[in-house]
Structure 1
Amino acid sequence: MKRNDWFLAAGILAAAAILFCFQRLGKSGEQAVVSISVDGDLYGTYSLGEDRTVEINETNRLGISGGAVRMDWADCPDQVCVNHRSISRDGESIICLPNQVVVSIENGESGEVDGIAR
């Protein structure tokens, strides 16, 4: 490879790294919200940027801290939701099937058309 080829390859890699960083860091955790549904009905929405503990109908306890959400406690027998890793990205969810609790992360911006729908 010639010297100019190396510069071109380095430039492409640098541009890819910059785009990757903007994509990962571009959406602030403060804008994201945690949406909780029980039996298909909205139980509540909470800011991902504010640390708190949410008690859900005395069957589940949810912890929000450091821009991530985790299921701290549940009275279900299998404990799959409690053993699930913390979630922090748009579209991720934790589901407690026995208690019919769905916890999901949403961007907080409603009505926006995504890249696939364009």
Structure 2
Amino acid sequence: MKKKEVIFIAGILILAGVLWLGFQITGKRSHNTIRITVDGKEFGTYSLSQDQVIHIGDTNVCEIKNGKVTMIEATCPDHYCMKQKAVDEHGGSIICLPNKVVIEGENTTEDSDSKSSPKIDAVT
């Protein structure tokens, strides 16, 4: 290999390492809180670090335990919401369609521009 080829390959590797490090630092999102909405209106925001049982109106009951939230009671006919995967620090959501209850992981370390301008997720 010539000296220029070695310098070029080393430059590519350094650039790749810097990009990878940048994605590792900025890409980590921690969902250490959950947000519960009922019929599109916010019911409350709760920390995953505190174990508790939350009664969501007269229809649903969820439990936060060991950093995970699960639906433990529901008045819906099929109880699909009780069979969904727990929401933890990696995110996720639990949705009860008949009762219009949504539990979702929420980032507490949001970017400053995300509060000032809405994100566009589709163009129609």
Same fold (TM over 0.5): yes
- Please give the alpha-carbon distance, in whole angstroms, between the structure 1 residues aligned to 2:90 and 2:112: 13
Q: 1: CA distance between counterparts of 2:60 and 2:50?
A: 19
Structure with larger Rg: 2
Deviation at 1:96, TM superposition (A): 0.2
The aligned residue for residue 76 of structure 2 is 76
Shift of 1:37: 0.1
Q: Which runs of 4+ in 1 moved over 2 A?
A: 26-29, 110-114
Q: CA deviation at 1:91?
A: 3.9
Amino acid at match of 1:107: N
Would you tell me which structure has more helix in proportion to its own residues?
A: 2
Kept in 2: contact 1:73–1:82 (CA 8 A):
yes
Aligned alpha-carbon RMSD (Å): 2.5
Structure 2: tracts of 5 or more residues without a match: 1-20, 120-124
- Count of equivalent residues: 92
Match of 1:16 in 2: none
Q: Which structure 1 residue ranges, 5 or more long, are not aligned?
A: 1-18
Residue of structure 1 in register with 2:61 after alignment: 61
Residues 90 and 107 in structure 1, CA contact (< 8 A), matched pair in contact too: no
Secondary structure of the 1:85 match is coil
Shift of 1:107: 1.9
Q: CA–CA distance in 2 between the matches of 1:76 and 1:102?
A: 13
Q: Trace 1:1-118 onto structure 2 (pairs within 5 A).
A: 32-111=32-111
Q: What is the TM-score when the length of structure 2 is the normalising length?
A: 0.64
Identity fraction in percent:
40
Query: TM-score, normalised on structure 1?
Result: 0.67
The letter of the residue matching 1:45 is T
